[in-house]
Amino acid sequence: MTKQKSSNLSPLAKVISILVMIAIPFVILILTEVGLRIFDYGGNLDLFVLEQIGGKKYYVLNKNFTRRYFFKKGIEAPSPRSQIFSAEKDSSTYRIFCLGGSSTLGTPYPPNAAFPAMLQHILSSLHPDKKFEVVNCGVTAITTHSVLDMGREILSHYQPDLLVVYSGHNEFYGVFGQASRLFLFDNQTFIQTFLKLQRFRFFRLLRNLYINIFGERIVREDVIDPGTLMGTVAREAEIPLGNDLYLKTEEHYQQNIEVLVQLAKKNQTDIILCNLVSNLRDLTPFKSLHSKIISAQATEKMDELLNEAKQLKKDNEFEKAIKILNEAMNLDPSYAEVHFLLGKCLERVGHYEHAKKQFKSAKDFDVIRFRAPSSFNRLLKQIADANNIPLINIESAFNENSPDGIVGNNLILEHIHPNNIGYFLMAKTIAKGMADAHLVNQTWDWSGLKPDSVYIAMSKLSPLSYEVVNAGMRQLTSHWPFTLRVEKRDYQQVGDELAEKLAKEFVARGGGNLIQLHLNLGTEYLAQQEFDKALTEFEAALAIEPNCEAYNQIGLYYAQKTEWAANDRDTRRALSYYQKAKSYFTDGLTFCPEHLSLLYNLGLLYTLTKMERQKGPEVFEKVLKIDPNHRGALQQLIKFYLINKNFEQAEIYLKKGIDLHPKETDFYLNLAMIYLNNRKLDQAEKVLNEILEAKPENEEVQNLLKEVHLQKSHNK
């Protein structure tokens, strides 16, 4: 037998060898991750991206970050609304992030009418020494799984002073919800671990490979209603109160909120929770189900009683209907429609508190769960009390501002989305809750609070804005689950026929660039010389997001007003309009420093006043640096130097103008006049002859040429 040789490796070498073998997979993973990042695989899914705007760095809400959550085949990720805040945070800045679903986003309004934007207006007027950045991170169809994921990143990277959470209506059907086609895991910890791992490109590569190979595509034929996102993502539509799926969802909701609260505390960041409000009075339950434990005979009897009560209600026999409905409810207390009809009848006889309880029961027993159940508000209170953090009672505020203390269409458009008055009420209630919790300052001076109507007007909603809301609501309520109900809501026209037409077309094609829609309508009004209507649309566009064209158009509006007031010798109004025009042009240039129209129009504005006329040439020079061919800037510079008799500078720009625009007669003519005034007769004659070569019939040039010849003959 041959004797096996013993290893010559030392113990240290063996340890190193083992460590190398262990490290190799990790090195491969790291190199793969680095390579994927170099080639930007999957794109940047950070919540905010850093951008340089007008010489300053800003964080801008990443349009692609929702692909963290909406990644299954056949589903289109909703786009978040544009948000921006300074990358540098100074001591006077108080930064708030608002987290939640579409009601935080402001649906169906643009973000300038959502409660975060209104909250910023309120806080700014109450604390003029502070700069408030209220950032709206609302996203359609997300659950608290995503809210927690976003909150974790915000706390780690973006220096929040306060988190405001209004979330829960999407918990069953939204992304990662237990009844959603975007369901991921039963376990909340697994979901959050998955979301954390998505920060790595290699993990996203594996995720995408798995989805492409094994994942099922969401197709129109399989969904409840492809016309809306809610109809597309809902998987198990009917969820009875207290069943396993309901309880699991409730458990996840509680866990996500509790973890977010603990993270905020760990990061020494304030957090406030807002309880949830929905339409009780004016929304019939989407669907009612009989309890499985009652007999077929009892079900039949109950249906008879229900039909009898409906007829009695129709005949205004409310007391009799109440008696019948109580009998029906004894047979099956889980049938949502019985509670709703009972609430309606109790309301008509003045028993409002009892009616409100029945409306709440109708919502809780509604098996189509697009309104958060009452248990969610109870959980929020428990969490707030246990952690000694503020709970903002949005539900109570809506009740107090509703007829008979019952929320309905007065503040909510359909099932959960407030109207613009409702969104303002949310903002005002949150501000009061912040004051009670001594946030921002220990004491608040409420003398700076403006009337409600002023804050609502700050949203800058135009007739077109309201028409888009109307069209959006008509489109939404024409799909599931609203088609399960009989009643329809009518919307009155707010704008003119053109605004209504544009809004309907906009919604019909699935939305798009709302800013451009406002700009287009404003431009149309300008063509019709309806200047005030145009201003309203341009202001609406600017309120959605800082944009160059809106700044420019509004500045032009006030510049024109300046001229009109000056012509009427109304100095006070002219100065006021001038300052407004200047403000819009200069503010626009902070975001769009090389926007030619903004620069040029600012230069033109300076020419309207003696005080700042000298600033015009500097601005026109900037225009020419960006666009050396800009004829208007050249003409204005020439005009300025001619008026101020700086013929040397005027000559420089006239020659430049002739080189760039050889067919422009005015450049030649003005240059000839300079030569003539300076007794440079040969140069004047040469320039005038050049004009005549192109336009031999020009009498003005012919006369000037005669004068040149006359002066030359005298000189001889």
* C-alpha gyration radius of the chain: 34
Tokens of 624: 């020419």
Compute the distance between CA of residue 64 and CA of residue 43 in angstroms, rounded to an integer: 8
Number of Cβ atoms within 10 Å of the Cβ of 3: 5
| Residue-level pLDDT at 316 | 97
The pLDDT value given to residue 1: 44
Sort 460 into a burial class: Cβ within 10 Å, 0-12 / 13-18 / 19+. buried
- Structure confidence at residue 659 (pLDDT): 87
Residue 54: what pLDDT? 80
Q: What are the residue ranges of helices labelled H in 115-200?
A: 115-126, 144-157, 188-197
* b (16+ CB within 10 A) / e for 503-521: bbebbeeeeeebbebbbeb
pLDDT along the chain (716 residues), means of 10: 55 76 82 89 95 90 96 90 93 97 96 97 97 97 98 98 98 96 94 95 92 84 83 91 97 98 98 98 96 92 96 97 97 97 98 98 98 98 98 98 97 97 98 98 95 97 96 91 72 85 94 95 96 97 95 97 94 96 96 95 94 93 94 91 87 87 82 81 83 79 80 73
Q: Mapped to the 3 state alphabet, what secondary structure does 561-600 carry? A: HHHHHHHCCCHHHHHHHHHHHHHHHHHHHHHCCCCHHHHH
The CA-atom distances, in angstroms, between 292 and each of 296, 299, 518 are 9, 10, 53
C-alpha span between 138 and 200 (Å, rounded) = 24
Output the pLDDT for position 698.
76
Domains of the chain: 93-199+241-280+372-457 (3.40.50.1110), 296-365 (1.25.40.10), 628-716 (1.25.40.10)
* CB-based contact 47:33 (threshold 8 Å): no
Work out the end-to-end distance of the chain between its first and last CA atoms, rounded to an integer number of angstroms.
131
The whole-angstrom separation of Cα 492 and Cα 467 is 9
Nearest Cα neighbor of 700 from 665, 655, 650, 663 is 665
pLDDT per position as a tens digit, 24-76: 887 888 888 899 889 999 999 999 999 998 889 999 999 999 999 999 988 88
* Residue 36 near residue 202, CB atoms below 8 Å: yes
Predicted local distance difference test score (pLDDT) of residue 224: 87
Look-up of token digits 């960006």: 626
pLDDT at 27: 82
